[in-house]
Structure 1
């Protein structure tokens, strides 16, 4: 399941890079496949966390280390994101944080009893999403470009006529990627994100998707919500 999940995440990265390029954001954005590896390049310094090589196995680990040292990274090498237990021996790389993936098989989910707008105004959606993330600069611009792309499905949770939480998903082959999702500070603690998660899972299941994938920060409320929904979490290790 991890290999399929990483493929879904990479396909979403392709969408994000294409959206950033189309929006004219500063720098270069590219996502490609090479020797079974999944590479993502973003040259803006604030987006360094996007510079990754995943899809790594024991078979292609040597190729992954070689790709990480190639000239295409312009001297700022990417993170190798490896399954737990896979170690790049004698490569000079050191651990650089955990990057979990959550996967969830999709069966029938009960309908969510909530006021949810699945066709929101893009500007309103972005306002709620970005207010919830509390980011800025190049990160905000990249997220705005990605989440305005028509290939993403956007949803807003409405409470008393006011949008209080935002979530997006996109379909890629047999899987659906859940992301991003955020709730502005004033509306947190109401279970908004969990309700939007359940809504997204139910919609994907109805459409015949086989599994859902999400990434989240270790120890975050998002990862807790995914675990409560029954997701299996893979604790991948990043190396630089």
Structure 2
């Protein structure tokens, strides 16, 4: 870690892609505050033991009071990067014909509404040259949704996330900060499954490259882990 290290807040970093991204940023000299939902994450504790630049925190992004409390705790920390990683799913072959209302609400709340509300709540901590980024998915692309692969409600939630971020950008046309929706690729996580083509390390290394390459450029983009534009 160097004296001019940048500050990142990675939300949803107790495991999988969030934890991997926190690790990649730490390896590149960032100071990272990384959150999990519970009282503690074995992965975050182990990562903190290897990197002095990591500060573990706790927040449930579906709980407005917990989000406000985290904002109060971090109020004196200027952020160069806010990255919100949130994702829950459902039975792969559930469609709108058979998904329960409760499951639909849960997926939409955690995958679409809560991440953008978090951006709203924490945008004031991100410096003018900083980046506001949210983990989206290639499955959120409406253009590419041309064959039956399942995850219908998950797809809809990520498309809603993309639309809400576009609305945020439209409401802040003079904001100089970089806005990113990031598709990590098909990754071997609990969500992606064992047959996915990318490891967490490969995906998050690419995501970190994209975040650093786009820093200071401004505007909203939907990019994958290689920096390629994903069709809306």
Please identify which structure carries the higher strand content. Answer: 1
Fold conserved (TM > 0.5)?
no
Please say which structure displays the higher CA radius of gyration.
Answer: 1
Give TM-score scaled by structure 2 length.
0.31
Give TM-score scaled by structure 1 length.
0.30
Higher relative contact order (CA 8 A, sep 6+): 1
